[in-house]
Every structure is written in C-alpha cells, then in structure tokens.
Amino acid sequence: SAVISQKPSRDICQRGTSLTIQCQVDSQVTMMFWYRQQPGQSLTLIATANQGSEATYESGFVIDKFPISRPNLTFSTLTVSNMSPEDSSIYLCSVEAPRAVETQYFGPGTRLLVL
C-alpha cells in the first residue's frame, strides 16, 4: 500500500474564499485522484490528477471551481474556489499504489465546513 497524508485535516472557511488541500504520498505513483464525500453520501470522483498535464474532470466538476496541480509523482493539490456552504464536505486524495495495480488507497481526508 501507499502512505498518504493530507493537509489540512480540517478547516472552517467563510463563503467566497478559497482553500487549497495538499496531498503527499510516500512513493511515486502514476495515478492520483480527488474525491468528495458529502455528508451522509458516498464518494464522488472530482478529477484525476495527471502529472505533467491538466487534470481530467468528471461530469459536474470544472477546473475553475476545483483547480488541481500535480507538479510531480508524489504530490498534488486541490483548490476549492469561491466556496459556498454546499462545498462543505470531506475531500479525499487517492492513489493507485505502484505495486498493487488497479487498487486505490485513500488519504485521511480534509473535512471542510463553509459558513
């Protein structure tokens, strides 16, 4: 498996502001993903973070709202822009482990509350 850390672990933000979430992995991985888990709901994929190119977004998610960076094979950031209370959620980073192809592991998540 891979060890994944996320910062911050939680935050309370005002509407209209932006928050950048960091994801760090202890080994080089090709595939990194960002998910959202809204209260009482399942996980929804926001985008796939591609190293060296733009992220690939799922239907309903756009780059202007959720810009993603992937500067190298161990790090990615997700920014939640111009936040509203509807963005209150847990945001999770996930990677496909290098020695467990097709298997995804998840970080501890960032719990975001927007007031």
Partner 1 sequence: AQSVSQHNHHVILSEAASLELGCNYSYGGTVNLFWYVQYPGQHLQLLLKYFSGDPLVKGIKGFEAEFIKSKFSFNLRKPSVQWSDTAEYFCAVKKSSGDKLTFGTGTRLAVRP
- Find the binding residues for partner 1 in span 81-110 (CB under 8 A): 92, 94, 101-109
- Is residue 41 within the footprint of partner 1 (CB under 8 A)? yes
> For residue 98, what is the DSSP state?
T
- Per DSSP, the residues of 14-28 read -TT--EEEEEEESS-
Nearest distance in Å: CB 103, partner 1: 6
The CA distance from 21 to 7, in Å, is: 6
- Which H or E run contains 54? none
- Is residue 53 within the footprint of partner 1 (CB under 8 A)? no
Which residues bind to partner 1, rule: CB under 8 A?
Answer: 1, 33, 41-45, 48, 58, 92, 94, 101-109
